[in-house]
C-alpha cells in the first residue's frame, strides 16, 4: 500500500527548485560582472579618445549613470572565478575574496568640471576584492 503522505518526487522538486534558481541567478550575475568589469585583452581606444571615456561609453548599457570610480580588470575571467573558490584570500563571513597576486587593472575616476561623465584612468597591477555568491564572482568591489 502506498504511503499516505505527500509525494516524495514533489518534495524533492520543492527542495531542488530554489537551489537551482539561486545557482542560475549567481551565474547570471557572474556573467554580468564579466561584461561590466573584464577588459581582456586591454582595449585600445580610438586615437584622441581617453581609455576610460571610451570604455565607460562603450559599456554604458551595463554601467548605468556616471560612476565616481570604476575598475576594469585586464585578466582572463577564469582568474576572477578562481577567487571565489578560495584560491584568493576568502572571507566567507562577508562573502568577499581578495586576490593573492596583483592583477592588471585600470581604475577610472570621474573628473568634476570636465563635462558629464569624463574620466581619468590609472593603470596599475594590484590586488582586487570581489563579492562572491554561490562560489562565483558577482562584483568587483575595488582594489586593495
75: cell is 585578466
Q: What is the pLDDT of residues 45-58, one digit of tens each?
A: 999 999 999 998 88
Q: What is the pLDDT of residues 26-43, one digit of tens each?
A: 446 778 889 999 999 999
Q: pLDDT: is 61 or 142 the higher one?
A: 142
Look at domain 10-143 and name its CATH class.
alpha beta
The model's pTM is: 0.76
29: part of which helix (H) or strand (E)?
helix 8-37
Integer Cα distance of 29 and 51 in angstroms: 25
User: What is the signed CA dihedral for 60, 66, 72, 76, rounded to 10 degrees?
Assistant: -30
Q: What is the pLDDT of residues 77-111, one digit of tens each?
A: 999 888 888 766 776 666 889 999 999 999 999 99
Paired strand residues for 103 = 126
Percent of the chain with pLDDT over 90: 39
Q: pLDDT: is 102 or 64 the higher one?
A: 102
Amino acid at each position: 500500500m502506498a504511503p499516505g503522505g505527500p509525494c516524495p518526487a514533489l518534495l524533492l522538486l520543492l527542495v531542488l527548485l530554489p537551489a537551482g534558481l539561486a545557482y542560475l541567478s549567481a551565474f547570471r550575475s557572474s556573467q554580468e560582472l564579466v561584461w561590466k568589469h573584464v577588459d581582456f585583452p586591454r582595449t585600445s581606444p580610438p586615437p584622441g579618445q581617453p581609455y576610460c571615456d571610451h570604455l565607460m561609453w562603450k559599456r554604458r548599457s551595463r554601467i548605468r549613470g556616471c560612476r565616481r570610480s570604476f575598475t576594469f580588470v585586464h585578466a582572463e575571467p577564469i582568474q576572477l572565478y578562481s577567487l571565489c573558490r578560495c584560491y584568493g584570500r576568502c572571507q566567507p563571513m562577508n562573502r568577499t575574496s581578495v586576490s593573492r597576486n596583483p592583477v592588471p587593472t585600470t581604475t577610472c575616476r570621474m573628473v568634476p568640471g570636465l563635462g558629464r561623465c569624463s574620466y581619468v584612468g590609472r593603470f596599475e597591477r594590484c590586488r582586487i576584492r570581489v563579492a562572491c555568491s554561490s562560489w562565483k564572482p558577482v562584483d568587483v568591489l575595488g582594489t586593495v
